Structure formats: structure tokens, C-alpha cells
Structure 1
Amino acid sequence: MQARPSSAPAELIDQARRAQNAGFTRLAISDHFHPWNDAQGSSAFVWSMVGALSQAVSLPVTTLVTCPTMRLHPAVTAQAAATSGVLLGGRFVLGVGTGEALNEHIHGDAWPSFKIRAEMLEEAVEVMRKLFTGGLVSHRGRHYQVDTARLYTAPDQPLPILVSAFGPKAAALAGRVGDGLVTMSPDADLVGAFQDNGGAGKKVVGGVKVCWSSNRDAAIDTVHRLWPTELLPGELAQILPTPAHFEQASELVTREMVADAVTCGDEAEEHVEAVRAYARAGFDEVYIGQIGPDQEVFFDAYREIVLPALNR
């Protein structure tokens, strides 16, 4: 189950409990300073939420994904992740990515090109891996400096680090420096690029958004209102700086595009097939996020129909 940035903190905790009771086996949570649009509403601090989740449920938790390069220094991210790993008793996985301007521009720094962001991420992963050992770390790199830092609350084992990718260059980076790949579409070619660049045998993780509802038309309207950003083309999602800009760009997304791209309604086999597409593409884990406020009907349907079908 994937928790979305649009839910208020107490709602996220409630969703996690419902997910555990429904038979979901893992949780994922995104890291946003801003939501993608004002209609989505809340955008809670991810590290507070992970701490709360550690006390509310017994499921593993993965960040899908956090950016350890600009808004937070990698040393600070390492401390947050290490504490999360300890609180969760080894059930925490750190998913990282190069970030979006929407969240990372807030200090007023220039938004770098992908090439620079990839360099920053690779160096950040190096810094965090050093700190996860619990030893004293000093680092002088191109993008980061660390001066005699040590994590006194360190995980018993180095935390797994998954790296997000949406194109072949990022997939190659994930294969080289990550313990696994995160990507949001069932793209077998991207999985192949990851595996060909050092990712063979490593975990592949994906996520899919759905809107379960007895009224398919209403579900399509819900997705079109709350999540048209999912269908923005190219690199817009990486470079637009504010929710207002996303709202303007989302005028490009039609209701028909949503109907074609997102699983909406209560045809169980369509929901099952949406997940199976990831399995066929070589994914090991798939996180499912329900769009909209109808969370209870989603959890009931997945507990009674969809998850049993997938398990079969």
C-alpha cells in the first residue's frame, strides 16, 4: 500500500492500519514539501510520519522516494533514515531519487540539470552509506562536505537504498549505486537497462495508482480533479516549481486521457491486471495507492476480492 502526500497525518496512520488489516504486506510513503496541486491538500513531513508508522503498524516501510540532495543534506537524511530503521526494527528501506523542483527549490537555490542532480545523488548515497556504518565520517566532495560526523543511533545492518529512475540514464545510475530500482510504470526495457548496468539480482519496485469505486465515471472525475499530474508529459514533473504551475500544466490532461491510463471503477480483473503487468515486467514489489477519499471501500474490495486473486 502506498500512502499519498494528499492525506492528512492522522488519515495516513489510519490508512496504514487499514492496509495491514486488509492483507497488504508492505507500506510505502512519498516525501513532498508541497502537494502537486491545491486540491490534494495536505503534505506532511515524511520523517515524522515514518516514526508514527513505526508505532502504529508492524509492516515494513519504504520511502518512495525521498531526495537527499537539496532540501535536506545527505548527512541529515542519513540520521533520519537510520533512526527510522532502528524504530522499525530493520523493516525500513530508503528509497531515494534526484527530486522535483516542486519540493527542492524552497531554499532558493537554482534547479540543476539532470546530469548535476544525478552526480549529487550518487555522492549523497556514498555519504549516507559511510554514515550508516556508525563510524566517524569526514567527506570532501564536489557537492557535499561532512566534518567528523557520526551516527550514534545507527542501524544494526546497513540500510538498503533503492534508487528511482524514469529513463535509461537514471536506470544505469540505480544499477551502479543502488540496492534496487524504483520506477512507476511496468517498463520491462527500463528494468533491463537497470539490470544491464549492475542491477542484476537486485530488487525492482514499482507503484500503481487506482481509483476503486462502484461508479466508474465518478472515479474518473476524481482522478482528473486530484491527480492529472500523473499524466503530464516529459520532464514537466521534475522542473515545475509550484502547485500553481502544476495546475496550469494539468489543463493539458483531458478526462479521456485519465480514463485510458488509470484503473477506475470496480471491475476486479482490471485491478488485478494492473498489478500483474508489473510482475510480467520483472518487478518484485508493487505498491498500490487509492486516489481520492473513498479509502474504506478500496480496502474492503482489495481485502475481499483483489488481494486473494493476486495471491492465487
Structure 2
Amino acid sequence: MKSIVLETAKIKDMFNQLQQNLGGQLNVDSKEHILSLDNEIGCGKIKGQTFKGGLSYLEFDMVFSEDFVLITQTPENSPICFAYCSKGKVGHSFGQSSEVRELETFQTGILTNEPHQDNVLYFKKDVNLITSLIVVSTAGTAATKKNSYNYRMKELFFKDNVSENSLYIGSYNLKIAEKFEELNAISQKGIVRSLLIEGFVHMILALEIQQHSDDLESEANKTGSLSLKEMDAVRELSKFISNYPETQLCIKKLSRMSGLSPSKLQEGFKLMHNRTVTDYIREVRIQKSEELIKNTDLNISEVVYSIGFTSRSYFSKIFKQKYNCSPKQYKDNQNRVAVMA
């Protein structure tokens, strides 16, 4: 078993310690740290970045060759940590002698602890793990301003403004997984990349706080939720619809493909996309049509049929509802810009 103790919460120093202990190649671009590993310890990447306002982001996308334990030491002013597991599972304990609890795929964990308390993360060998940590500082002037999110989070997650050892593990949430996928798909470089990453981190943090609120409400109302297997099926269906928008689909066919009942399908899509299955299919097609109009030489009729619509007039109607112009106007504007360029 490989074990590392991180003696700092600063991203720069943390990654230097990680490289010293794990090896690999460390690259830094616009404050984003990426440690790439392909050695006897494991294969994958560890990424991290600090943003203004005392917010940090850390992601493990790794397959370790042996069981790996990461121990972090908490400072006097304990931060609030939001963890999310996109793939696999990760264990946590307060110190090495207390109970280990596991965060499973699609679950959020919210962690607070006493000052100077060690946090221990457990990664199992030969498991493809993707887990992300968003850390909110409760130190400094930002945490004393009543309108700052640092201060408001202390009020929300600290009891009587004092941090205690606490690990909340939420229900399954696919919306957060979707946002992490979009974050990791960012291809831009430099300042644009940094701004996009920061925007997604703030959005994900909001979703994780909302998940906590929703769970408390669901517990009070004794409402049910989808299982991990059912959530995974909804996620795979969403990917299929996104990849093949031209395919003619109905609830009955999707139900048969996934093994989920129609009611479970609708519940899953409402949870993940905040819309019905039919609305999601339509939204995917409209977004795809905009890409085709903008980036290809297809005429409007060809675009309509390539994304699975059968009525050009219906397509024009919903396109205008979303983009406030007709498909023809949008294409003409694109052509005009191309000529001017």
C-alpha cells in the first residue's frame, strides 16, 4: 500500500509534494496544475487549480497499481470540502483509526472536520476512479463578509459557527456528472480555459449545495429516488440520444433499451436534465441543428432530416423559439459573416 501525507493546502505546494512522492510529469498552465502518471504507481492524471475567493478544485482521474492512501492535514480554519465521484468509488475516514465510509459513483459528499484533524482518502488498486474535490476556504477576510459565499457556507454547514467531524453523503445525481464531463471537454487554452473552468466549478458547487437541500427535503417528505443502476441507465440513454439525434425514438423503445419503466425514465430525465424525455430529445436535435447550420454547407431541408425531424415548418418554429430567429436568417447571417471575413 502506498501512503502519502500532504502537509499543505496550497495547490502549488500540494502538486510539488505529489510529484515528489508519485513521480510523473507536472505541467502548469495559467495556474492549472496537471500531474500525468504512467509508471509503476499508476496511470492517469491529477489536476488542480485555485481561484479567487478561497476556492480550489482538485480531480483524480487515475488507476492505481496498488492500494493508495492520501492523508491531508487540516489547518486551524477548517475548509468545507465538496467531493463527487464520477466513476468508481473512494473511501474516507477521520484519521486512520476511525470508520471508513465510501462515496459511490454519482454521489456527492460534503465534508467538514475539526481543526487539525487528518482526513484520509482511500483509493483501491486496479479501479478506474474519477473523483473531484471542490474546497471552500473559511479563513481570511472573505469568510468574515456576510455577503460572501464562504461566510454563508459556514452558516449552512458549521454548527454554531464551529466545524465538526461530519461527512454527508448524498443521493445519486447525474446532472453533476454531466457538468464534470463538460468541464473536462474544455479544449480552449490560456485565460479562456481558466475562465471556463472557474465558471463550471462554481456551477457544480451550486448543484452540490442544491443536492444537499433536495436530499433534506426528500427525507422530510419520504420521497424515493432512483438506484445507481437506474441512474447509470439514464446516463447511457442520454449519451445515445446525444450521439444519434436522427434516430426515431419513443418512450416505449427507450424503455425497452434501458430496462426502465416509463415512469422511471421520466423521473431520471427530470433529475438529470430538468425536462421530460421528449423535451430532451427535441433540445438535443435543435442544438445539433445549430451546429450543422453554422459549420456545414447543408441547406435547411437537409439539416431538418439529418437530425430526425420530418416537418420543416415545425423545426423552424421551435428553432425560432430557442434562438429568436429563423433557421434561414441564422444561416444567412453566418454566410454574411464568412464573406466579410
Q: Which has the greater radius of gyration?
A: 2
Aligning the two structures, in what range does the TM-score lie when normalised by the shorter sequence? under 0.3
TM-score, normalising length: structure 2: 0.23
TM-score, normalising length: structure 1: 0.24
Compare relative contact order (CA 8 Å, sep 6+) and give the higher one, 1 or 2. Answer: 1
Greater fraction helix: 1
